[in-house]
Structure 1
């Protein structure tokens, strides 16, 4: 039986989702890859698509969403990163939002999300907000989340993704 052809298509603002895309590429036979790169691709030819995104306000980023709305009759493995998280319920909510943007003719064959590091400017903004007398009460939690996210995606995140992709 001939091994399935695939493409790995992703959008990555800070490099986190690109790390996941590279882990997927490492886990699969290179000779079967039709395309590896950004989600600006017009029409992917592969039957099997690994589509990656970064999280923007609880959904995939605009570029990934536009791709997901265009494709039809494909097998899709979704993967993404979110600065906020460490929480499977939040990740599942994001994935559900992403899936609701896809054409129903596509078949979801897998999904994976993990936390990703955020730009230092985010933490700086939280610290500055704390200086205000009437600041949000959850700023300490947001700063702690930022600090935890700095190491992600880590080896454990990438190994888990490779394992999922290999099936």
Structure 2
């Protein structure tokens, strides 16, 4: 089986997931990295960081260009833990994918955010100390600052194995 792993990563979170997927199937990987020239493969793992609730524009462009492929989508996001949120992120990514493709599945996990985000939350909380949404955002920042962790990477590898089995059927 020929596999390509295309991803876009700003903080390194999505790259960590891509690297874990690569370790799972490295003998079959033709390419692992940022989208460049599209290579022909039997399975495409495609991943992105979350940009205001969407996959990055680089990945949106890649997803919309694919036709008649088997795709497994993965992503990282600063706000994690909610399967409903992950489902909404997946749906937005799925909307970029041509109907001729087969989407085998998706995987999401939280990822640490840049310190500048925390600084912004702290400043805003100083201006609006009663803002519950900001309090939750700051708490979430702290909760995900060590993610993706070993457990996330192991889950990504298990998911990748399942996607490979699906692609072979």
TM-score range, shorter chain: over 0.9
Unaligned runs of 5+ in 2: 163-169
**How far 1:64 sits from its partner (Å)?**
0.5
CA deviations 1:115-142 (Å, max 9, x no partner) are: 0000000000000011115763321111
Pairing 1:19–2:11 present: no
Distance across 2 between alignment mates of 1:131 and 1:35: 47
CA contact (8 A) 1:84 1:115 kept: yes
What root-mean-square deviation, in Å, do the aligned CA atoms of Structure 1 and Structure 2 show? 1.3
Q: Which residue in 2 is equivalent to 1:155? A: 150
TM-score, reference length from structure 2: 0.92
CA deviations 1:65-117 (Å, max 9, x no partner) are: 00000011110010000001211100110001100111001101121000000
Structure 1 stretches (4+) deviating beyond 2 angstroms?
Answer: 133-137
Report the CA distance shift for 1:89/1:26 in structure 2 as closer, same or farther (over 3 A).
Answer: same
TM-score, reference length from structure 1: 0.93
CA contact (8 A) 1:129 1:135 kept: no
Report the CA distance shift for 1:133/1:52 in structure 2 as closer, same or farther (over 3 A).
Answer: closer
Q: Which residue in 1 is equivalent to 2:90? A: 95
> 1:113 aligned to 108, 116, 120, which one?
108
CA contact (8 A) 1:7 1:49 kept: yes
Unaligned runs of 5+ in 1: none
Aligned length: 162
